[in-house]
Amino acid sequence: MAYWLMKSEPFKYSWDDLVAEGEGTWDGVRNYQARNNLAAMQVGDEAFFYHSREGLEVVGICTVSVAGITDPTDETGKWAAVKVKAKEKLAHPVTLVAIKAEPRLAEMQLIRQSRLSVCGVTPVEWQVICEMAKG
């Protein structure tokens, strides 16, 4: 079981949109490293839902409900996608500022590669952020 962080611009697809739908397809990724992360996901993996460009914070946790599907928005069939379900909303969103201020999170892929839209998260990092989310 692995942990991930998925970025979305809230004016395109927000946490509330996912909650409203119940299950959402994570497609449209056109970056090879992000695709590799998508392809590595297993059903039951958990992912932080992060709002980029606006918000700049982790707002919720979702679980992978369907793994290893091809991106339905792509005709060439070479891009990957997964389906996710909203699991829980964080009691307190964890902002990028707070993540940067936490030494244990300094090595996060999110920080080191700011443009990667689907990042891996280590179990330690996951736990630290979950603790921060409790306030």
Residue selected from 52, 58, 94, 121 as contacting DNA according to rule CB under 7 A: 52
Instruction: Give least dist CB 7 to DNA, A.
Output: 5
Beta strands in the chain (DSSP E): 3-8, 23-26, 46-51, 57-70, 80-95, 118-121
How distant is the alpha carbon of residue 44 from its chain centre? 14
8 A C-beta contact, residue 8 and residue 51 = yes
- Contact call for residue 30 and DNA (CB under 7 A): yes
- Verify binding: residue 17, DNA, rule CB under 7 A: no
Residue selected from 7, 38, 49, 132 as contacting DNA according to rule CB under 7 A: 7
Q: Does 117 bind DNA (CB under 7 A)?
A: yes
